[in-house]
Structure 1
Amino acid sequence: MDPLAFLAGSAAAAGVCAALPLYLRARRSERLAARLGAQLEVAQHAASHDPLTGLPNRRAFYQRGAELVADRALHPLVAVVLDVDGFKQINDVFGHSAGDEVLVTTARRLAAYADDPGTQRGLVARLGGDEFAGLLAVRQGSPQEQADRLAEVLAAPMRLAGQVVTVSVSVGLVPVEPGAHLADAVHRADAAMYRTKGARNRPHPAAQHLTILPQPHLVHAGLRIGKSSRPSDSRPSKAT
């Protein structure tokens, strides 16, 4: 064998042997970085989203919502606050798993409504308990017409424990001006929602928020809409 060729081959082999650990180390580093990146993404999502419904949580709603309010191209905007009427009664009648299903279904319908082209991909979130909030851009129709569309979405029947159920939801809806404070708009929407919820307790059959009929096992409750445009609205005490 040619000595020069032998030396060249030996040098090449030595180079490969020396480079292989570096290559393997680099590959391990890439995999570790990818795994850490995925874990960070999961942690960030968990910190900003409600674990039950998958919607943004209160903190994420106010952070992202402030950006939407500041974007004049998205106006006019409406702020919406809603909660499920008689939620404790739903838990008592059907169980807590069914109550969770009501929250998940409500969240899914809100998210679908926010993604409707007519609302320009608005923002919805679960604030806590059975209370939800939304910030929606009005592009088609008046705020009242948009409230009617939201009512239709939320009033669709759902099935719980083998029964067809419609759930009453009290809704407060207010306009949001460019440059307004989101917290103020949510406060006014919250006050409008509680006024609507207070009307539920009036002695009228329609005020019943959970009624079970013998056939065809339909649990029904009306959906009510509250509206306000006055920044001086105060929040009433929560109806029980």
Structure 2
Amino acid sequence: MITEVITAAALPTAGWALTAGLLGHKLHAARRDPLSRLWTRMPWMRRTDRLIRRHQATHALMLDLDGFKPVNDTFGHPAGDAVLRATGARLADFTAQHGGRHTECARLGGDEFVATLTLNDNDVATFTDGLAHELAQPVPWPGGPLIVTASIGIVAIADLEQPSASTVLKRVDEAMYAVKKARGGQGHRAPRRTTAAHGTEASVQPAEGASR
């Protein structure tokens, strides 16, 4: 009888534990973009604020895919989703390898992505060139590999007055759109010592020789 009472009493506890575990899993999933598996905006902002307070992030970047809409229009939304997944994975991998110890990446929505980094000022241009090159690699697709380039804006957190995730997001957004306008999305723009931006010509096409 005592064993039966103990077992019966344990059932609600086990049920609550299972429910709490499921809720925790759903909450964690809600913080991640389901397509790219990167952070969504708010978790990224909270983590970026923490990195800024601890002086563990020196730069932030935002990228926007050039000519992404024609991917969806020409090859359909599944092709666009493949490009977004590849972009998220490449951004995460490249920043993990070259962006210092403290990096956080997020997909803001659509084809816009953001990241915080720990870089030396002298490494900013090399890093941005390397990331642009990585993002421009063909994305495998049944109708032919897709090639999509990116406009990348990058800013130094030390340049900002009272830096926070909100001010970082505003400034890096401005830097990225300045790239979009400059030379049709090509070239570098470095108006200040610690601010750089990089963009590339839009290119959305199957690889040469692939069927459409």
Q: TM-score range by the shorter chain?
A: 0.7 to 0.9
Percent identity of equivalent pairs: 32
Q: Are 1:216 and 2:197 matched, yes or no?
A: no
User: Which of the numbers 57, 63, 76 marks the counterpart of 2:40?
Assistant: 57
Determine the C-alpha separation between the residues in 1 that align with 2:49 and 2:63.
Answer: 19
Determine the C-alpha separation between the residues in 1 that align with 2:141 and 2:102.
Answer: 29
RMSD over equivalenced CA pairs, Å: 2.5
- Which of the two has higher C-alpha Rg? 1
Determine the C-alpha separation between the residues in 2 that align with 1:167 and 1:208.
Answer: 7
Aligned residue number for residue 156 of structure 2: 175
Conserved 8 A contact 1:94-1:160: no
Q: Unaligned 5+ residue runs, structure 2? A: 186-199
Would the alpha carbon gap of residues 65 and 194 (structure 1) be closer, same or farther in structure 2, given more than 3 Å must change? same
How does the TM-score come out when normalised to structure 2? 0.81
Count of aligned residue pairs for this structure pair: 196
Aligned residue number for residue 107 of structure 2: 126
| Structure of higher RCO (CA pairs closer than 8 Å, 6+ residues apart) | 2
* Letter aligned with residue 157 of structure 2: V
* Letter aligned with residue 162 of structure 1: G
Conserved 8 A contact 1:170-1:193: yes
Conserved 8 A contact 1:81-1:132: yes
Tell me which stretches of 4 or more aligned residues in structure 1 moved more than 3 Å.
Answer: 199-202
Determine the C-alpha separation between the residues in 1 that align with 2:168 and 2:125.
Answer: 16
Determine the C-alpha separation between the residues in 2 that align with 1:162 and 1:123.
Answer: 33
Determine the C-alpha separation between the residues in 2 that align with 1:218 and 1:61.
Answer: 39
Aligned residue number for residue 61 of structure 2: 80
Q: Are 1:28 and 2:11 matched, yes or no?
A: yes
Q: Unaligned 5+ residue runs, structure 1? A: 1-16, 220-240
How does the TM-score come out when normalised to structure 1? 0.72
